[in-house]
Structure 1
Amino acid sequence: MLQKKTNTSKPNADGTHNSWADKVRVTDSSTRFTLEPLSRQPLGCNLKVTEAMLLDNSAQWNRCVIGFFPGFRMPFHVVNSIASRAWRSYGLENVTTTANGFMIFHFKTEDELHIVLEKGPWMFGGKNIILQQWHPRFQFDKNKITTLPVWIRLHGLPFPLWSKQGLSLAANMVGRPLSCDELTYNYTRLEYAHLCVEVDATLPFVHRFEIESPLSVEPLTVTMDYEWKPSRCEQCHVFGHCCPTPTEEKGKGKTHVDSPASPTQLQPEPQLTSSTPLANTHIAPHPPADKPFNITPPFNPHMSYTPTPNLILL
């Protein structure tokens, strides 16, 4: 009769036993990295980190883009496959993920990273992915996203304001100015001005504003379309969800809450033909065409987009 073998090995300090693979595994110093031998801190004290320590190893992280899908979690192997196919030629080295659903895309250089961001917005398998460059204060918490970059189309903006200063002033009426697209920069599509702005979850979305200027006795009205509008919670002041208001819970009324996040389906952009008059379409000074146009904000990680999403199917 076969007898069941008992485990005669001595247990570890925590009561567990080493597996056979643990016993026969061969390791050497090449698989380990020596850390700094520091003095032990008193029990119960907090770890104090300085600004210099945070920036000491930031060079490699500055080449990373953080991405996530609003209201959706795509399997890692799908994201890795799509990103590799789309961005390998732009210097994508590898893709990693965090426990709470954020994706980290590592690039060879920051310049290649910015090329990918400028070609956005991107859609993976029909799902909109939000991208922004890593920065030391980034919080990997989807419940703490208070600012997001969005693209808007301004209708009715006077041509004299199609300059860096004028576009910046117009964008500032909606959010924090970030950038504009090439067609707006070269004013070769005059149906609307296409701008990227950073919106704040503590403030409602702006859909129109008026301009007072010597151009007209009456104020000029500028309206706008959002190419993608994230859901915004008026109670929590964050993006990504909408809490019901007390009046909605009691059924006594409804408070306007922005619709759930979903990319807006837009018609193809019309092309400017030779019959379109170009005279007097630009009066204010404009930067030379051979220089890249970027409404440069103060240091901020949030990303910019371009007009038509790059749709990548599975």
Structure 2
Amino acid sequence: MDEITNRCAGLKLSLKEEAEVEINVPLTEDGPVLIGKFCTKQRVNLESVARVLKLVWKAENNFEVSDLGENMVMFLFQTKDDMERVLLLSPWSFDKYLLILHKMVRGEAVKDIKFDKTPFWIQIHGLPTMCQTKEVGLSIGATLGKVEKVDANTKGFCLGNSLRIRVLLDISKPLC
């Protein structure tokens, strides 16, 4: 063991290996890019994904689809409006597999993204009508995850036979 330690002690980096590279993050605002991951071990056909999602998402402008491997896909939109609408209407599925979408931000690397959370609309049934309020929705939703929205009118009441809450759920854990 000492012999290996002594040999390694004499190792040094060459000038070329010591060179440092400074990477400047662009100062432009974040681009309209989504990274998606399909929750399946089977390989997803990227051509089918692009063809179907272009029809389903009904984006006003075209978007590009790039394969990132391991059932991850990059969606490059021409406008932020199209990207935001796709995010707002999520969750999405393709061929019965959940598609988790992540909005890229400046300086973020794809390898660092954790695809463990996605928003779902939750319906709460059986509440007394006068308890179907935004405040009750926030309270119930907070027990499930991060509440993104409660479907309520301007007065704070939820009209209909159920209370709808959009909650960011941790999909790595079982539903309660």
Confirm or deny that 1:106 pairs with 2:80.
no
Partner of 1:43: 17
Distance 1:161-1:188 versus aligned 2 partners, 3 A rule: closer
Distance 1:138-1:167 versus aligned 2 partners, 3 A rule: farther
SS in 1 for 2:69: coil
- Compute the displacement of 1:76 (Å): 1.3
Over residues 40-63 of structure 1, what are the superposed CA-to-partner deviations in whole Å (9 max), with x where a residue is unaligned?
Answer: x963466566xxx44624532xx1
Distance 1:75-1:201 versus aligned 2 partners, 3 A rule: closer
Confirm or deny that 1:56 pairs with 2:23.
no
Q: 2:86 aligns with which of 98, 116, 125?
A: 116
Distance 1:146-1:125 versus aligned 2 partners, 3 A rule: closer
Partner of 1:189: 160
State the distance in 1 between where 2:69 and 2:88 align. Answer: 28
Partner of 2:169: 199
State the distance in 2 between where 1:138 and 1:159 align. Answer: 46
> Which ranges in structure 2 are unaligned for 5 or more consecutive residues?
1-14
State the distance in 1 between where 2:22 and 2:132 align. Answer: 49
8 Å contact kept, 1:90–1:113: no
Distance 1:66-1:175 versus aligned 2 partners, 3 A rule: same
Partner of 2:66: 96
* Bigger proportion of residues as helix: 2
Confirm or deny that 1:172 pairs with 2:142.
yes
Partner of 1:65: 34
State the distance in 2 between where 1:45 and 1:159 align. Answer: 68
SS in 2 for 1:205: coil
Q: How many residues align?
A: 156
- Compute the displacement of 1:157 (Å): 3.7
Over residues 102-144 of structure 1, what are the superposed CA-to-partner deviations in whole Å (9 max), with x where a residue is unaligned?
Answer: 11112222222222223333333343322232234464468x4
1:263-274 equivalences under 5 Å are none
Partner of 2:10: none
> Which ranges in structure 1 are unaligned for 5 or more consecutive residues?
1-40, 207-314
State the distance in 2 between where 1:135 and 1:153 align. Answer: 31
SS in 2 for 1:114: helix
Seq. identity, %: 21
- Compute the displacement of 1:176 (Å): 0.7
Over residues 136-184 of structure 1, what are the superposed CA-to-partner deviations in whole Å (9 max), with x where a residue is unaligned?
Answer: 4464468x4343323322233444443333322221111111124xxx4
8 Å contact kept, 1:100–1:140: no
Partner of 2:104: 134
Confirm or deny that 1:147 pairs with 2:117.
yes
Partner of 1:267: none
- Compute the displacement of 1:204 (Å): 5.5
Distance 1:151-1:88 versus aligned 2 partners, 3 A rule: closer
State the distance in 2 between where 1:127 and 1:43 align. Answer: 45
TM-score normalised per structure 2: 0.67
State the distance in 1 between where 2:94 and 2:120 align. Answer: 17
State the distance in 1 between where 2:26 and 2:128 align. Answer: 44
Look up the equivalent residue of 2:152 and give its one-letter code: Y
Distance 1:141-1:70 versus aligned 2 partners, 3 A rule: farther
State the distance in 1 between where 2:132 and 2:20 align. Answer: 53
Partner of 1:82: 52
TM-score normalised per structure 1: 0.41
